């Protein structure tokens, strides 16, 4: 698919074929998309634990289950538990930035030198962020979120169903054995969808001007009819939910999977 169509087709899929496994190379593609995402200082903020549902004991699966993820955690064959590494910025940035100076990625035209890294960027920016718990969490969550977003789109491009949901942090720490410096983010459920990929239609969103501003707050960004028409033609903007047949689809899928219909 073209990029705009991948963005337009992305849905939070909540019904998976529990008996159909996901090919390993498709999981690899999802992780590669995350690995190649933009990240501040080229630091490794995004971390993940890939779990096969059927590899979890009943007790561990139960400990990872919340009321809001109960259906998906039992249906999706693959769970990707995303975490943010709070130590990444301070640990990785100095050496990674130096490498980028040597590679011609960070250049003297923008003020970057080894001296600038050691005397300005690291002490004034990296250490300031890393020593403030709130700022560190903001940066880590934002940077890891970029990787997770690309992982979602990669799953869609591979023809898979996917969605993000929350998970209980402390039980997950026990089951997955993650370092103390990692903070919980999302679990990404992955599998072949049992519902249609449209999942009832593209989710409603407020218009651009309610969300985004131009020049300053209170001045709505205004797109053009021509731009919107092009995005519809390129399948980024699609028919909105709810489709007239959506409730019948949900009943049929629920019946097939042995889930409540009403």
Tens-digit pLDDT profile for residues 68-122: 999 999 999 999 999 999 999 999 999 999 999 999 999 999 999 999 999 999 9
| Reported CATH class of domain 3-90+132-194 | alpha beta
Residues written for the chain:
262
- Give the residue with greater pLDDT, 94 vs 161: 161
Percent of the chain with pLDDT over 70: 100
In the predicted structure, residue 129 carries a pLDDT above the cut 90: no
Contact partners, residue 112, CB within 8 Å, separation at least 6: 97, 100, 101, 106
Mean per-residue pLDDT over the chain, rounded = 96
Query: In what order do the strands lie in the sheet containing 78-85?
Result: 46-52, 78-85, 182-191, 161-165
SS3 (DSSP) at 179: coil
Average pLDDT over residues 18-34: 98
The pLDDT value recorded for residue 262 is 80
Output the pLDDT for position 31. 98
Question: Where exactly are the structural domains of the chain?
Answer: 3-90+132-194
Predicted pLDDT of residue 191: 98
In this prediction, residue 128 carries a pLDDT of: 86
180-231 pLDDT, tens digit each: 999 999 999 999 999 999 999 999 999 999 999 999 999 999 999 999 999 9
Instruction: Return the sign of the alpha-carbon dihedral for residues 143, 147, 148, 152.
Output: positive
Q: What is the pTM (predicted TM-score) of this model?
A: 0.95
Cβ neighbors of 8 (< 8 A, separation 6 or more) are 202, 231, 234, 235, 236, 237, 238
Return the pLDDT at 171.
Answer: 97
Q: Above pLDDT 90, what percent of the chain? A: 95
Exposed/middle/buried for 100, CB within 10 Å: 0-12, 13-18, 19+? middle
Mean pLDDT of 145-157: 98
């Amino acid at each position: 698919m073209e990029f705009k169509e991948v963005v337009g087709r992305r849905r939070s899929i909540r019904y998976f074929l529990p008996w159909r496994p996901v090919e390993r190379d498709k999981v690899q593609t999802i992780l590669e998309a995350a690995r190649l995402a933009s990240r501040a200082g080229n630091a490794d903020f995004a971390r993940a634990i890939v779990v096969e549902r059927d590899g979890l004991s009943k007790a561990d699966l139960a400990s990872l289950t919340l009321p809001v993820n109960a259906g998906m955690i039992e249906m999706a064959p693959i769970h990707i538990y995303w975490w943010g590494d709070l130590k990444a910025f301070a640990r990785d940035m100095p050496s990674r930035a130096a490498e980028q100076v040597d590679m011609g990625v960070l250049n003297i035209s923008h003020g970057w030198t080894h001296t600038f890294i050691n005397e300005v960027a690291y002490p004034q920016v990296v250490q300031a962020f890393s020593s403030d718990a709130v700022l560190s969490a903001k940066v880590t969550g934002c940077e890891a979120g970029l990787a997770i977003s690309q992982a979602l789109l990669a799953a869609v491009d591979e023809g898979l169903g996917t969605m993000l949901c929350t998970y209980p942090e402390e039980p997950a720490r026990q089951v997955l054995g993650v370092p103390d410096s990692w903070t919980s983010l999302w679990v990404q459920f992955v599998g072949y969808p049992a519902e249609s990929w449209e999942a009832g239609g593209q989710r409603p969103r407020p218009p651009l001007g309610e969300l985004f501003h131009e020049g300053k707050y209170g001045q709505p960004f205004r797109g053009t009819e021509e731009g919107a028409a092009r995005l519809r033609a390129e399948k980024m903007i699609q028919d909105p939910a709810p489709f007239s047949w959506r409730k019948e689809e949900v009943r049929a899928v629920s019946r097939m999977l042995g889930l409540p219909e009403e």
